[in-house]
Structure formats: C-alpha cells, structure tokens
Structure 1
Amino acid sequence: MRTIGISLAIALCFGAVTSTAQAWGPIGHRVTGAIADENLGGVARANVKILLGTEDLAEAATWPDDMKSDPANFWQKTASPWHYVTVREGDDYKGSDAHAEGDAMTALTRFTATLRDPKASPDDKRLAFRFIVHIIGDLHQPLHAGGGNDRGGNDVKVTWFGRSTNLHSVWDSVMIEQRSLSYSELAGWLSRSITPAQVIAWNDRDPSVWLHESIALRKTIYPTDPNLSWDYAYQHRAELDDRLKHAGIRIAAYLNWVFEPTNAIAAKAK
C-alpha cells in the first residue's frame, strides 16, 4: 500500500490522475484533518482518543482513499460512490440523484448514526469515524458536488503548465502540490489565517449548507481556455484555500456535535 501511495502522489504531481472519486489529494485531506484537530472540544477529543488511540485526524482523513487499493467488493463497489454527490437540476440535493449504493450524503447520515449508537462495535465506529472526517472534506471540494454531466470535471481535459490532466485533478491536488508545502506547513499557514469570528461563522454542521457553497463555487471554476497556468492558479487559489479552511472547521463542528453529551443536548432543547 505504501508503494501505491507513493506512486499516486507522483502521478498527482504531474497532473496525470483521472480518478473520479478522490476529492482533495492526500495533502488536502490531511490539511482539513489537521485544522479540525485544532478546533475539537474536550469531549470530542477524548472520544477520538478512545476510538483511534495515537492516530490523529490528519491520518484518519485519508484512510477511505487509502483503502481503495483493497480488492474487496466493499471498497471497489459499495463504498466507491460515498465520496461525492450529484445534483442534476438546480442547487438543492435530491436523494433520487444518488447512486444505487448511496452517495456522500447518505453515507454521512448512516455513519453518524453508527457513531452515536452505543451498541455499535468499536470497529464499526472506527470505520464510521474515518469516513465522516473524509466525507466532510469531500463535500467541500466543488467538483464533488457535480451536475452529473462530466464526472465531476474528470471529463474536462486541460493542461497544467503544458502537462495533460483534467479539471478534477487540478482541484484535488495539482494546485495544492504546486506550492511544494507539506500538509503540516499548509495547515499551519491556513490555520493562522482563520479568525475567531470566522470559526464562529463557519461553525455549521448542516451538509446542505456545505453543498450549496460547493455548487456555487463549482459553477465559476470551469475555464474558458483549457491551457491553465499562473492566471488560473492566481484566480482560484484563495477559493481553494477557503474550502480547505471551511472543511477543517466544519469537521470539528460536526464531531463536537456528534460527541456532545446527551444531557447537554437535552438541556439545550429545553
């Protein structure tokens, strides 16, 4: 699996990857996990420690993509569509657009129920937890809220500084990796730019809100010229960074809610 991961990273660096399901490459997902880690509340942090031990959110965030190398039917077929959603008409998610195996929205709902189920096994909860962290990141990548007509930008062929790739890969990894920063360096840069007011404003655990944001951005990122270089990077880098920052804050907000003590929830409902 290590060899596969290294090969994938090299392919991403040269803009050759055409995967339909990987939202944010390893660096992007780890950035969202690292930002989330800094914003977890005490109860959520304790529960994460119980579930994962020494594994942090940055590591957990890439696990569902790492497992795509597993030849089991679960990973090759069942779980494959849980990384994205399709919104064929308008801007509102409709369950009828989901794949037969479900999608990121249905998977998020199901895994949340598992994580809050006191009867669920530790293994099932770990699977659910890792997917939740990953899926929230996926839902903030604009091309993972696709319109169902170009496989989330995978069919949009472009060049990146002269190398052939596609629009999906540009947003997953190529623009991120162009900066030659480790995930911890990029997470640190982005975290330091997030203000307390933004943490409060972005503290939204409603996935429909995240989707509306991603769909609105997706409509603006298709280039008129397929030959992409500095102009495209300059135009969209701040938007890409913004989605990574939002995802990190939302992962933390969602986990803080999932792990909120029952008595605290009841008290707030009164």
Structure 2
Amino acid sequence: MKKLWVKVLMLLSISTSIYSYAWGLAGHRIIAEIAENHLDGRARRQIKKIMGQERLAYWANWPDFIKSDKTGMWKEASSWHYVNIDPQTDFKAFEENLKAQAGPSLYTQIGVLSSQIKSDKTSEKDRKIALIFLIHLLGDLAQPMHTGRSEDLGGNKINVTYFGEKSNLHSVWDGKLVDSQKYSYTEYAKLLDIKTKDEVKAIQAGTLEDWLYDSHKIANEIYAATPNDSKLGYDYQYQFNEVMERQLLYGGLRLAKVLNDVFD
C-alpha cells in the first residue's frame, strides 16, 4: 500500500478508456449513488469517518483506474473483478462449481474485504482501500458478463458491432448500453431508485451465492442472444435495456445491504 495517495492522484488523471473492465464510469457511479441513498445511519456515520465528505460514487471506479498502473503493485487484484463459470443447470450445480474454484475472485474477495473493514487490526489506510474495492466489486457482481465464461473472457472475445462500431460483448454491457441512454449518473440513479420498502427488502434478500447466480442466469441469456459477429442496434437496446436497468438498481440496493451489514 506504499505511496498510495500519490498513485491515486496520478491514476485519477489518466484519461484512458476503461470500458473493457467493468460497468464503466456511469454504471459504477449509478450503483454507488443508489447504494448511498439506502445506507442506514450507522453505516453512513462510519463511512464518513473513512471517506470524509466524498460520496461513494467518487471512488466507485478507482479499482478500474489502477489497472493502468505499470508498477505491478495492484496486479494481484486483477482477478477480483470477475468469476468465470460455465453454464450451470441449476443453483446447486452453480454453487458447487463456485465453491470449488481456486484462487481469489469476485466471489472470495467480497467476503475478504468485508472482514478487513470490520477488523480492528486493519489500518485506517487499508480500511479505506478495502471499502473502495467493496463498493466497486458489488457493482461488478451486478454486471452479468462478470459471471461469464472463461473461454471468451466474459464476452471480451465475442466480437460484435454496436451501431456500426466494432466492439465486443463485454464492452457493450460495460458501458455502451448505459451510455446510450444519455443520462448523467445522478439522473439515472434517481430515475431507477423508485422501489417501495418491501420491494427493496425483497431485492436485498438472499446470499452472495444467490446474487451471483442471478447475474449468471442473465449472462446465459445474453450469450444466447448475442453470438459472435452480431450486429447490435436499437433492437438490442429494446431487448435488454430493462435488464440492464434492473442490474444497476439491484447492484445499488445490494451494495447498500452489504455496507449496512459490514457496519452493523
């Protein structure tokens, strides 16, 4: 964690595109903004002690920015953003496959980071880093292609054109579908965050495994609808826009649940 804040300032100034990494700038900020709206009082106070006046959305993309770091300092974190699983027939098979996987992944690190934040032995600096990563990874969990297949790197090897522009399936789901709606992240968060208290509670129910399976099932639907060399346009937006918006909302509400539990 040495020289962290120097690296932060340097990496925040990098203008390179990160759409091949995760939801993209807008998507992660939407999820973080929705989550902030659903923090309970204790979580809000504890997060303020760690983050100061900065909102969750300010740091939501930082774990993607650091992928541009050339020192190798954050290399070990590259596998935290996804968990690759072949199509599974049911939840039991999915869960068994998930738990059998070796090495750090999106699945393992959410628990690890939560424990680090809770531990009295974690330094102030490391607690902030863990919180930043947790905010980001719960967003990654909601992006279906982050629970995709290893053979195509979560859709990165599936070539498509999006309104005539060459792209890949992962990239379309990272940013292009979200950005096509032309909302700011605060506008989009406000438009999506309209569920009743009972509906929010239902969305937040379940385990981490349940939430990953939820995204995995959607990933399988996306794969089925988007073979290699697909030409995507308005019809694809029409087919999947509701799904994309659902995932943004669910990501935000479930992030809030995790943060409220962590600071309980």
TM-score range, shorter chain: 0.7 to 0.9
Q: Report the Cα distance in structure 1 between the residues aligned to 2:222 and 2:168, rounded to whole angstroms.
A: 13
Moved more, 247-256 or 179-188: 179-188
Alpha-carbon distance in 2 for matches of 1:158, 1:97: 30
Q: Give the Cα separation in 1 of the matches to 2:100 and 2:197.
A: 38
Letter in 1 for 2:81: H
Alpha-carbon displacement from aligned partner over 1:245-266 (angstroms, at most 9, x marks no partner): 0010001111111110xxxxxx
1:209 partnered with 2:210: yes
The amino acid across from 2:57 in the alignment is A
Aligned mate of 1:185, from 163, 187, 197: 187
Which SS does the other structure have where 1:237 is aligned? helix
Name the amino acid aligned to 2:86: R
Is 1:199 the equivalent of 2:200?
A: yes
8 Å contact from structure 1 (residues 86, 97) kept in 2:
no
Distance of 1:242 and 1:203 partners within structure 2 = 13
Q: Give the Cα separation in 2 of the matches to 1:73 and 1:3.
A: 18
Who is 1:8 aligned against?
17
Shift of 1:8: 1.4
Q: Is the contact made by 1:88 and 1:97 (CA closer than 8 Å) also made in structure 2?
A: no
CA distance in 1 between counterparts of 2:206 and 2:14 reads 34
- 1:56-91 deviation per Cα after TM superposition (whole angstroms, max 9, x unaligned): 11112111112222223232x211111000123622
Once the two structures are TM-superposed, the CA of residue 31 in structure 1 deviates from its matched residue by 0.3
Which residue of structure 2 aligns with residue 57 of structure 1? 56
CA distance in 1, matches of 2:45, 2:57: 16
CA distance in 2, matches of 1:48, 1:2: 21
CA distance in 2, matches of 1:125, 1:3: 23
1:259 aligns to 2:263 (yes or no): yes
- 1:116-141: per-residue Cα shift (whole Å, max 9, x none)? 10121001100110111111110111
* Matched letter for residue 161 of structure 1: F
- Change in CA separation of 1:167 and 1:89 when aligned onto 2, cut-off 3 Å: closer
Residue of structure 1 aligned with 2:164, choices 156, 162, 165: 162
Question: In the comparison of the two structures, how many residue pairs are matched?
Answer: 245
Q: Which runs of 4+ in 1 moved over 6 A?
A: none
The answer to whether structure 1 residue 226 and structure 2 residue 258 are counterparts is no
The equivalent residue for 1:268 is none
Choose which of 133, 136, 146 in structure 1 pairs with 2:135: 133
Gaps in structure 2 of 5+ consecutive residues:
1-10, 89-93
Structure 1, unpaired ranges of 5+: 13-18, 261-270
Distance 1:176 1:59, change over 3 A: same
Q: Distance in 2 between matches of 1:202 and 1:26?
A: 24
Please state how far the C-alpha of 1:94 moved relative to its aligned partner. 2.4
Q: 1:166 deviation in Å?
A: 0.3
1:23 matched to which residue of 2?
A: 22
Identity %: 37
Deviation at 1:2, TM superposition (A): 4.9
TM-score (norm 1): 0.86
Distance verdict in 2 for CA 1:2–1:122, change over 3 Å: closer
Aligned equivalent of 1:85: 83
Equivalent residues in 2 for 1:44-123, closer than 5 Å: 44-75=43-74, 77-88=75-86, 90=88, 91-92=94-95, 93-98=97-102, 100=103, 102-123=104-125
What's the CA shift for 1:107?
A: 1.4
Which letter does structure 1 place at the counterpart of 2:144?
A: P
Deviates more, 1:177-186 or 1:36-45: 177-186
CA deviation digits over 1:197-217, x for unaligned, max 9? Answer: 221101236211111101110
Aligned mates of 1:2, 1:50 — CA distance in 2: 22
